[in-house]
Structure 1
Amino acid sequence: MEGQLDNCKDSFSESDNDDNEKVWENILLIIEKTYVKKVNIGLERPVEETDFVEQKAILIKNFNLLYKLLCKNFNDSGSGKFFNLKKTLIHNVTVNLLLLCGEHLQNDKSEWTTSDTVKYSQLIIEFMCKTYSCQNIIELLNDSNNNKLLPLLFNKLKPKLLKDTWKCFPAAVSSYTWIVFKIKFPNMGPVLHLGMPTTLILLDDYVIANRINGLNCLHHIIENVTKTELSWYCEGEILYKTLEPMMYSLEPNLLNSLINCLITVLSKIVSNEDKLKWTHYDDVMNIWLPSIEMEQKLAFRSAHMESLSVFLQSMGLSCVRWSKRLIRIFDEYAAIPIDRENCFKVMYTFISVTWPRTSNYFDEITIIILKSLSDVIEDKDSNSDNLNSNTVVNSIVECLNILNDIVPDEMQKLSCDINNCESLSDLFKSFFKSKHSS
């Protein structure tokens, strides 16, 4: 291979006398030699850095040569000569350069990347953007003048990303992911049939990191297509059925990506009118709430609360169907100091989206709030972590403020009752007065 690259280098040194197409065919040869090679061990286990020790030195050398030759050719002839090539050759060079750089730019901590490969990839992308007169790679890929690039990119990757090959080409998966996240509406729809299969393969893997990658890709893809475009490839109902089983085996680092992805899919298949009756939002709650109720590990509890707030916001008023169970969860989580801040953030979301029914659960909610407020004030008096106490108080105050806006009469009565209660401390009363008394 080294001899082949030396020959390419010699051809560039005599480029003034060479045919322009021959020059770029030599560049293509170098690019092909610079891709991360197949790693058969990937079929048996996730790849490790030691699997790429020999490749890294070769990659750095090839990147260095490739960048120098690109610069020399363009400095000598300008980009105009590049665009005078046959369209197929222009596209071939561009597609291969983008995919090569994507192997190293999606995650600069990948097992096959080095600081040098990342640096050269960034320089080449800047170089290509300048050549195409674009500000960045997103503009380059989404420019209507370059709309033929996207299908070419996916088709070039396809042989490496089949169900029985993708684990041998982890760098190609990174390149795919990098490309997917650069595509924006309305350019995702026309290549949906090309981009979606790899995402579905990733979702079906046993390695959590791959599933998270698949979820994040699917979230981005669905966000950037219309409901009609989605139906051209597959029904949203099928995607939901693909995601639903993951709810039964939740992991903290998977949960956020899964919920965000479910929300995006459900937003395409469930209308606001549909939410008046039982929908897949309720199916998710039916599966998820028992896990939240029974969870004892702090990391899991925190992950549940953070994701639940986002889900309730998307679900809207229909989550009032689950108010009794949610209030029981609030009561349990608010009793644990480390869970309180996240708990009251979720409670705030719940109150804000179910405001027409607030009077129905006002007493239960305020009991939870006041118990926690009393505990936090007592903790502050006993010299506990004041910073943590202050953030919890702020979350509680937000809940009280929104209740004051939604049900002012009930809050006014509560304020009077608190200030007339002799068993409550002056600190508690003064705090409450300053926020909610008229």
Structure 2
Amino acid sequence: MELSSLLQDLHLSSSSSSSSSEKPLPPPPLPPITELLSQLREKLIGASDRPSETSALIGRVERLFQVADPDWLFSAAPANQEGGWEELGAAYVSLISALIGCAALPLCEDDCSPPSASAYQRVPAQAATVCSALTALQGTLGKSQGGGGASVLLAVAPPTCVFAVTHFQEQAWTSSASRAAARCLMEAVLRAGHWRDSAHLLMGEEGRSRGILGGVLDVLQPHLNRDWWRHGDWVKCVFSWTLLQVTRPHLSPHLPRLLPPSLLLLDHHRPENCMLGVRCLHHIILHTAAADLHQFNRADVLYQALFTHLYSPEAALTQVTHTVTHTVTHTHRLSWFVRTSSWSEHKLPALPYSSSACSFSRSPVLPMGVAMCRHLCRLERVVLSYLEVKDPPEETSRLNILEVLEKMIRGAWPRMETRVHALLCCLLRLLVDVSSDLELSDSVRQQLIGRSCVCIKLLDACSHGNVQLLLQQLDSSCCSSEVLGYLATVTMATDR
């Protein structure tokens, strides 16, 4: 039999036939599967420092999974059937850990630089070989009809899934061949458990199929600590892939295990890891009930963690953080740090005024209505500072901030009378600058002048005509005839 010869090649048969015997002896009885798996594990560990021998051994293990009878591969000890399934699952998990160890990634020496390309030289080939062996196991599990196959499948699916996800993404430690083998492995896992896709694999379906999210987190948990970078970038890749597959309501029960690693990513010094942390936190916020976020003060922890990145010199990181904070923070609290971060934009040359003013004009500060009055002091300083800064050639910053000013006047009109003088002076300076700026196109100039005149009309309405009295005191020698013509339209009608 092919299985007997294969076991002899592996030196794992329970007895050997005598060469001096005249008659061929019947094939020796098969050893208990748990004993066989334990011996295979020891051989794989012993050959880990000899790549050629390891590859040959993995090939024989793959052939064993292909030719062996599934009823023998997934048979538990008859004495204690329930405990036997657990023992069998643990034996397969140990063997899979040894197989995965044959394609282990090198550890990082420090947090500043990843391992060199030469360190990953042997990984893709070994990973492809391991994927092939695990695919054969999953194929046999899919054909098994007994209870042992289902029990073993739920035990081995989490480490197999983690290994497949590690190698099917385009990374420094993968090649086209290893990525293709890993994708085939993931497809084999889905077929074996009749899962529709990776999200169904993780979350399962109530009353029909179990998910493996808890098992995947058990595999990742030893690596999800403050020293995760020592294990390599594969940890963050697998964790983020897993988290982003899980949606409401399956995320909340695992929140205590998903939130801390996301915060660790956010707290990392590399911008790409911070961006990934923000993306993970955003996904958690969107797919977790508000009550669960407020439990144990988690919402405040999220707020404090995100707040520190509003002052990041990385423009992309600050923009993404602004977006996420809109979904987690109370309106008044959010308005405070939106205005605070806008007020400090001039200290960050990497951040363009136009993008910040645009996001500020869409922030939740403006729809607050009369409640905006409590924020007027800081809001006024932000608006005035933006109006003083040129943003050629499109002047997007000034156009956006004039829109903010218009909404601010309409929303907080009872408090505008005391601020008329400062705002009017800034708007008049803007009109004079724009009318004399020859670099601006006519369309941009007309937009700036039009929005400025609307704001002046609104200020006049809020101050009960006080703006007209101030304009009458204006020295006409300091303004061009064009500016005086625009101001004349303000005194003709008011919009209240």
TM-score (norm 1): 0.70
Distance 1:42 1:328 in 2: 47
Q: 1:129 touches 1:140 (CA, 8 Å); kept in 2?
A: yes
1:344 aligns with 2:432: no
Partner of 2:57: 4
1:325 aligns with 2:381: yes
Partner of 1:418: none
Post-superposition offset of 1:86: 5.6
Post-superposition offset of 1:348: 4.4
1:158 aligns with 2:211: no
Superimposed CA distance per residue, residues 253-277 of structure 1 (whole angstroms, 9 cap, x where no aligned partner): 32123223333331xxx2x5xx3xx
Q: 1:345 touches 1:395 (CA, 8 Å); kept in 2?
A: no
Q: How does 1:357-436 map to 2 (within 5 A)?
A: 357=412, 360=416, 379-380=440-441
Moved more, 207-216 or 314-323: 314-323
Tell me which amino acid in the other structure corresponds to 1:178.
Answer: W
Given the alignment, which residue of 66, 74, 95 partners 1:21? 74
Query: How has the CA–CA distance of structure 1 residues 12 and 226 changed in structure 2, closer, same or farther, with 3 Å as cutoff?
Result: same
Give the helix-richer structure, 1 or 2. Answer: 1
Tell me which amino acid in the other structure corresponds to 2:230.
Answer: K
Given the alignment, which residue of 232, 236, 257 partners 1:169? 232
Given the alignment, which residue of 100, 103, 120 partners 1:52? 120
Query: How has the CA–CA distance of structure 1 residues 18 and 91 changed in structure 2, closer, same or farther, with 3 Å as cutoff?
Result: closer
1:291 aligns with 2:344: yes
Query: How has the CA–CA distance of structure 1 residues 208 and 263 changed in structure 2, closer, same or farther, with 3 Å as cutoff?
Result: same
Superimposed CA distance per residue, residues 101-143 of structure 1 (whole angstroms, 9 cap, x where no aligned partner): 33245x63x3223333333444444444455555432344334
Superimposed CA distance per residue, residues 333-378 of structure 1 (whole angstroms, 9 cap, x where no aligned partner): 4x22157235535654675687534794997697799789868996
Moved more, 148-157 or 348-357: 348-357
Query: How has the CA–CA distance of structure 1 residues 7 and 254 changed in structure 2, closer, same or farther, with 3 Å as cutoff?
Result: same
Given the alignment, which residue of 289, 293, 309 partners 1:226? 289
Superimposed CA distance per residue, residues 242-262 of structure 1 (whole angstroms, 9 cap, x where no aligned partner): 333334443223212322333
Post-superposition offset of 1:157: 0.2
Partner of 1:417: none
Distance 2:59 2:363 in 1: 57
Q: 2:108 touches 2:229 (CA, 8 Å); kept in 1?
A: no
Distance 1:164 1:191 in 2: 22
TM-score (norm 2): 0.63
1:258 aligns with 2:258: no
Tell me which amino acid in the other structure corresponds to 2:345.
Answer: I
Post-superposition offset of 1:162: 1.8
Query: How has the CA–CA distance of structure 1 residues 155 and 225 changed in structure 2, closer, same or farther, with 3 Å as cutoff?
Result: same
Q: How does 1:298-313 map to 2 (within 5 A)?
A: 299-301=351-353, 304-305=356-357, 307-309=359-361, 311-312=363-364
Partner of 2:44: none
RMSD of Structure 2 on Structure 1 (CA): 4.7
Distance 1:262 1:155 in 2: 30
Distance 2:275 2:291 in 1: 26
Distance 2:413 2:438 in 1: 26
Query: How has the CA–CA distance of structure 1 residues 398 and 216 changed in structure 2, closer, same or farther, with 3 Å as cutoff?
Result: farther
State the SS of the aligned residue for 1:99: helix
Q: 1:263 touches 1:314 (CA, 8 Å); kept in 2?
A: no
Query: How has the CA–CA distance of structure 1 residues 212 and 263 changed in structure 2, closer, same or farther, with 3 Å as cutoff?
Result: same
Query: How has the CA–CA distance of structure 1 residues 64 and 88 changed in structure 2, closer, same or farther, with 3 Å as cutoff?
Result: closer
- Provide structure 1 residue ranges, at least 5 long, that are not aligned to the other structure: 382-389, 411-421, 429-438
Distance 2:366 2:210 in 1: 33
> Percent of counterpart pairs with the same letter?
16
Q: 1:60 touches 1:117 (CA, 8 Å); kept in 2?
A: yes
Q: How does 1:66-145 map to 2 (within 5 A)?
A: 66-67=134-135, 69=136, 73=139, 79=142, 81=144, 84-85=147-148, 88-104=151-167, 108=170, 110-145=171-206
Distance 2:167 2:154 in 1: 21
Q: 1:193 touches 1:233 (CA, 8 Å); kept in 2?
A: no
Post-superposition offset of 1:193: 0.5
Post-superposition offset of 1:60: 3.3
Query: How has the CA–CA distance of structure 1 residues 298 and 45 changed in structure 2, closer, same or farther, with 3 Å as cutoff?
Result: closer
Structure with greater contact order relative to length (CA < 8 Å, sep ≥ 6): 1
Partner of 1:245: 308
Partner of 2:270: 207
Tell me which amino acid in the other structure corresponds to 1:304.
Answer: S
Larger radius of gyration: 2
Distance 2:180 2:152 in 1: 26
